[in-house]
Amino acid sequence: MYRALILLLLALPVQAHQFTPTYPELEQSFVPGVKYTKLKLYNKRKEIEFYEISVFDMDWNRVPFAITERVLRVPYLQTEEIEVYLKEKDSNKSLYICSKSKLLKGQGSVPAVASRICSKVRE
Amino acid sequence: MLALYCSYSYSEQIFGQTPNAAQNALNWSMSYLPAQAGLTVSDVIYKYTTVKDPASDMLVHVQNEDAVGEGYVFRDTEDWSGHAANTIRKLVPVPDIPIQRWGQGSIEIEGEGSVEDAVVIYNWKYDTCFDPQSDPNCPGYKPPVPEETIDIMEYIKDPLEDEYIQQELERETPSETEEEEEERKRFQEKLEQLDRVEKLLGGINASLVNANAKLKHDQLMALSTLPVVYYKVLEGRSYGDTLQYPEQTVPDNRRGLRVGLAQELLHQEMVESQYSN
Amino acid sequence: MRKSIIGSILLCGSVFAFAEDVPIEGTVESKCVVTSDTSGVYGNPNPYTLDTAPGQGGVHPIVRYDVIVADYYKAIIEYPEAFSSSPSLDDTLTWDGVVMVNEHTDAAMSDYDSEKVTYNNVTEVTLDHAGSTWFRVENDVEYGVEKSFPAGTYTSIVTAECIAL
């Protein structure tokens, strides 16, 4: 079943967006009181180059976090590894870390689909 | 000088796809596959839409009979029992099954319901050099044997007719005179005598060498001038930790918050304005 | 003779091959892949309506979700309720839409249509089967009370989300 799925992705022209892992683990960073996690963003959408990273709690309220760039540039067929830093007091609850495609205004033909994938940090 | 002559041979993989085998009916023959030696099918893509009552039971099999043996060479089943009607699209890999085994194909329905807009496509491939004799550039190609006949008798010769062999056969060995015979016997006796003296001397020398050498060896070992093993104690040390960073908490910069937050919000607004979403 | 036999046995013994099992390891990582399969097009069947239905000259956008492991993700799809770019409009817009399962790779996925949760313009589906599912987004909008749309390019955005459970 999984083999059939993987071959489908290869055989057909696809414009896909991937964000893994599904359940990232928070680790202690070099700064006391701050935790971090690593995620991978893979862009297979030719018309999209920018993705925004955001963090929410279970009620979809924004949670403050630190990252090198909030809006990342991920060229077509490239994978970007990102590190998200969170306060330790925020990391004790379940959180969503999301990547959302950003569609530039004034682009020739604007695609109709904006994709957002959220990974979950479990408490 | 060694002259190198390079030649190359190659084979090529050709890939292709059949048209929709189920375009006319839910049963089809495999004439859509090209009649090519060594052709294999690597996967089957199919799609169809079911028409059924959500509560009814229905099984749909997409299958091909085994043309060589019994049963099916390919069979994929979807169980629609208790599910609403919809469209399914699947790609099923198969382990490069050769063309000879692919028999009649069909979509078989068990239960209540029907199937429409069926599409069944086979992905195939073959090697152009599956038969090496098909192309002189293929690896393993053997040039054909020329058609003209060869008279093998032209190449067979009777060895007894050879000139040099004839000369050897005709040659006679000279007979020995009595003088020559005595001379030969004396020489042979001398050789045997020399051989006996040599054996005698060899045995004496061997025992002498062995005994002397052994005595010398024992004397040297008794002196203990040769060291048996070399050793020296190396004094080691350890390096202790000298540098330590005391644990601290990094407080929030309240002045930075006041000054930076307003600018941060404005900056964020400007960045967001360039995107549609 | 004996020496040659022993020698040949020793020679044979020295070339025995020792086999070792070399394992191949791998893991199947759960992930969700969101793909824009078909970009939509608005048809203009009459001056005051834009519609993605094929019968109205439009094309429904189709979004594809691929999940490797079942029950790890839910799909949230929002049909548009505003234009992301359009000529200036000074009247109300009446939006309507629906998200339906178009195709799938597992017969059991046809239950997503009956199991989905809808509120406002949002459709939520728990992806409890591994495989691929294509969702069709049907969308139409009317301008004012049968008021003609000004000429220009109209673009709206379907939001497709994949949220870890």
Query: Which of B118, B134, B150 is the endpoint of a domain?
Result: B134
Tell whether A40 is within 8 A of chain C (Cβ).
no
Residue A12, pLDDT above cutoff 60? no
Q: Strand A78-87 to strand A71-73: parallel, antiparallel, or no bridges (unpaired)?
A: unpaired
Under 8 Å CB pairs connecting chains B and C tally to 46
The arrangement of strands across the sheet holding B102-111 comes to: B27-28, B102-111, B58-66, B72-79
Tell whether B184 is within 8 A of chain C (Cβ).
no
Tell whether A58 is within 8 A of chain B (Cβ).
no
Tell whether B274 is within 8 A of chain C (Cβ).
no
Lowest mean pLDDT among B32-41, C20-29, C76-85, C113-122: C20-29
Q: Considering only CA atoms, which of C110, C127, C53 is closest in space to residue B87?
A: C110
Tell whether C10 is within 8 A of chain A (Cβ).
no
CA distance A3 to A1: 5
pLDDT at B249: 76
**Which one has a higher pLDDT value, C73 or A14?**
C73
Give tens-digit pLDDT for A62-112. Answer: 999 999 999 999 999 999 999 999 998 888 888 999 999 988 776 544 456
Residues of A in contact with C63 (CB under 8 A): 113, 115
pLDDT at A40: 93
How sure is the predictor about B234, in pLDDT bands with cuts at 50, 70 and 90?
A: confident
**Within-domain flag for B20:** yes
Q: Considering only CA atoms, which of A46, A113, A99 is closest in space to residue C156?
A: A113
**Topology classification of domain A14-121:** Immunoglobulin-like (2.60.40)
Domain boundaries, chain A: 14-121
Q: Considering only CA atoms, which of B273, B25, B11 is closest in space to residue B140?
A: B11
Least Cα separation, residue B88 to chain C (angstroms): 5
CA distance B175 to B213: 56
Residue B6, pLDDT above cutoff 50? no
Residue B156, pLDDT above cutoff 70? yes
Least Cα separation, residue C102 to chain A (angstroms): 16
Q: What angle do CA C32, C34, C39 make, to 5 degrees?
A: 170
**Within-domain flag for B253:** no
Least Cα separation, residue C103 to chain A (angstroms): 14
Residues of B in contact with C107 (CB under 8 A): 60, 78-80, 83, 86, 88
Percent of chain B with pLDDT over 70: 85
**Within-domain flag for B243:** no
B88 to C106: CB separation less than 8 angstroms, yes or no: yes
Residue B217, pLDDT above cutoff 50? yes
User: Which domains, from first to last, does chain C contain?
Assistant: 31-164 (2.60.40)
Q: Considering only CA atoms, which of B82, A1, A56 is closest in space to residue C66?
A: A1
C163 to A118: CB separation less than 8 angstroms, yes or no: yes
Q: Do B25 and B90 share a structural domain? A: yes
Residue B208, pLDDT above cutoff 70? no
Amino acid B198 reads: E
Within C15-148, residue ranges assigned H as helices are: 112-115
pLDDT at B141: 84
CA distance B183 to B205: 34
pLDDT at B131: 84
Mean pLDDT of B230-253: 75
Give tens-digit pLDDT for C96-128. Answer: 999 999 999 999 999 999 999 999 999 999 999
**Within-domain flag for B275:** no
Facing A103 at nearest CB: one of B247, B271, B277: B277
How sure is the predictor about A10, in pLDDT bands with cuts at 50, 70 and 90?
A: very low
Q: Do B195 and B118 share a structural domain? A: no
Cβ under 8 Å to B: C residues 72-111: 84-85, 101-111
Lowest mean pLDDT among A90-104, C22-36, C75-89, C151-165: C22-36
- Domain of B71? 13-134
Tell whether B86 is within 8 A of chain A (Cβ).
no
The CATH number for B124's domain is 2.60.120
Residues of C in contact with A59 (CB under 8 A): none
Q: Do B123 and B45 share a structural domain? A: yes
pLDDT at A13: 41
A114 to B277: CB separation less than 8 angstroms, yes or no: yes
For the full predicted model, state whether its pTM sits above 0.80. no
Facing B86 at nearest CB: one of C84, C110, C155: C110
C132 to A8: CB separation less than 8 angstroms, yes or no: yes
pLDDT at B209: 56
Residue B125, pLDDT above cutoff 90? yes
Residue B20, pLDDT above cutoff 60? yes
Q: How many residues does chain C have?
A: 165
Tell whether A104 is within 8 A of chain B (Cβ).
yes
Residue B59 CB contacts under 8 Å (≥ 6 apart), including other chains: B77, B78, B79, B80, B81, B109, B110, B111
Facing B89 at nearest CB: one of C84, C105, C113: C105
pLDDT at C113: 92
**Within-domain flag for B54:** yes
Q: Least CA distance to A116: which residue of chain B?
A: B277
C110 to B85: CB separation less than 8 angstroms, yes or no: yes
pLDDT at A5: 33
Mean pLDDT of B27-34: 92
Do residues C153 and C83 touch, judged by C-beta distance below 8 A? no
pLDDT at A110: 47
Residues of B in contact with A7 (CB under 8 A): 43, 91, 93
Q: How many domains does chain B have?
A: 2
CA distance C71 to A104: 33
Mean pLDDT of B233-252: 76
Tell whether A63 is within 8 A of chain B (Cβ).
no
Residue B214, pLDDT above cutoff 80? no
Q: Least CA distance to A104: which residue of chain C?
A: C84
Tell whether B251 is within 8 A of chain A (Cβ).
no
Mean pLDDT of B224-251: 71
Give tens-digit pLDDT for C9-42. Answer: 544 444 455 667 777 776 666 789 998 888 888 9
Tell whether B91 is within 8 A of chain A (Cβ).
yes
SS3 string of chain A? Answer: CHHHHHHHHHHCCCCEEEEECCCCCCEECCCCCEEEEEEEEEEECCCCCEEEEEEEECCCCECCCECCCCEEECCCCEEEEEEEEEECCCCCCCEEEEEEEECECCCCCCCCEEEEEEEEECC
Phi, psi torsion values for A18, nearest 5 degrees: -130, 145
pLDDT at A3: 38
**Within-domain flag for B64:** yes
Residue C141, pLDDT above cutoff 70? yes
pLDDT at C15: 46
